[in-house]
């Protein structure tokens, strides 16, 4: 018997701290004070959240916390920060508490923009699905409406079941008309599929144009924070 592997759920730990920064930044040159403040925040969190080997790469600061520390430039960082730390597995995410009015307004505005972009993406997906459903309905309707003079194999077999020893026979004219009708239906189906593919590509390009600049900005901000 194979042993059952028990999956351990990662515990989520949340804590709030007030981190002092004045003493850590005092002996540092003036042009290095704010980078030292960010490093001291990461060291404080790694120590108090009990990270293994106190690896600073596993401490990830929020974008708005980074802006709060850099608010007064590289020479005059803030003297203390109120912070909320959330630990999930080996990664700790740090968020600022009690943001100033400007940063709070910026945060609310960007959250609204993200919600609007998600709604637009959902609308585009729904429109694509509706187009595909309509194409499928047209194809199924064409298949149901068979041309005159063409008899299905099921009808012929049902008629000939009662008559023993008689084989199913179809006139050559009916066979030729059936082949022509099938070829026309295939051509129509291929044309509908090509139109649906072209529309799906156009909708996907429109979604990329709306979402890519926002994603690029967020990636750039996260890379700047991680480099610091």
**Are residue 140 and residue 219 in the same domain, yes or no?**
yes
Please name every residue paired with 171 in a beta bridge, in sequence order, or none if there are none.
none
- Residue 170 pLDDT more than 80? no
Angstrom distance (rounded) from CA 66 to CA 225: 7
Model pLDDT for residues 82-113, shown as the tens digit of each residue: 999 999 988 999 999 989 998 889 989 998 99
Contact 49, 19 (CB under 8 A): no
Do 49 and 133 have their domain in common? no
Continuous H helices in the chain:
22-25, 33-48, 63-69, 101-144, 153-160, 172-227
Quote the domain boundaries for residue 203: 105-160+184-227
Three-state DSSP state, 84: strand
Pull the structure tokens for residue 128. Answer: 């694509």
CATH code, 94: 3.10.440.10
Q: H-helix or E-strand containing 98?
A: none
Residue 4 lies in a domain: no
Burial of 189 (C-beta count, 10 Å sphere; 0-12/13-18/19+): middle
Q: What are phi and psi of 11, to 5 degrees?
A: -75, 140
Residues 117 and 209 in one domain: yes
pLDDT digits (tens, 9 = 90+) for 130-144: 888 878 777 777 666
Angle between helices 101-144 and 172-227 in degrees, nearest 10: 170
In order of 67, 68, 73, the CA distances from 102 in angstroms are 11, 10, 16
User: Residue 177 domain-assigned?
Assistant: no
Boundary of a domain, candidates 52, 69, 99? 99
What pLDDT score was predicted for residue 130?
82
**Beta-bridge partner residues of 59:** 92
**Domain termination residue (choose one: 49, 78, 99):** 99
Determine if the pTM surpasses 0.85.
no
Computed over every residue of the chain, the mean pLDDT equals 79
Assigned domain for 165 exists? no
């Amino acid at each position: 018997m194979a042993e059952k592997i028990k999956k351990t759920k990662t515990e989520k730990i949340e804590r709030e701290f007030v981190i002092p920064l004045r003493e850590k930044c005092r002996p540092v040159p003036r042009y290095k004070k704010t980078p030292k403040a960010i490093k001291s925040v990461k060291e404080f969190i790694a120590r108090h959240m009990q990270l293994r080997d106190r690896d600073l790469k596993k401490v990830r600061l929020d974008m708005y916390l980074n802006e709060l520390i850099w608010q007064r430039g590289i020479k005059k960082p803030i003297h203390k920060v109120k912070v909320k730390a959330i630990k999930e597995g080996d990664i700790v995410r740090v968020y600022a508490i009690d943001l100033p009015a400007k940063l709070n307004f910026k945060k609310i505005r960007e959250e609204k923009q993200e919600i609007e972009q998600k709604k637009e993406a959902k609308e585009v997906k729904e429109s694509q699905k509706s187009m595909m459903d309509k194409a499928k309905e047209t194809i199924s309707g064409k298949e149901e409406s068979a041309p005159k003079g063409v008899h299905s194999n099921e009808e012929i077999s049902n008629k000939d079941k009662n008559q023993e020893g008689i084989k199913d026979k179809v006139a050559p004219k009916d066979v030729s008309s059936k082949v022509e009708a099938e070829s026309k239906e295939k051509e129509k189906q291929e044309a509908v599929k090509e139109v649906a593919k072209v529309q799906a590509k156009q909708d996907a390009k429109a979604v990329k144009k709306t979402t890519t600049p926002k994603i690029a900005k967020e990636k750039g901000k996260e890379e700047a924070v991680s480099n610091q």
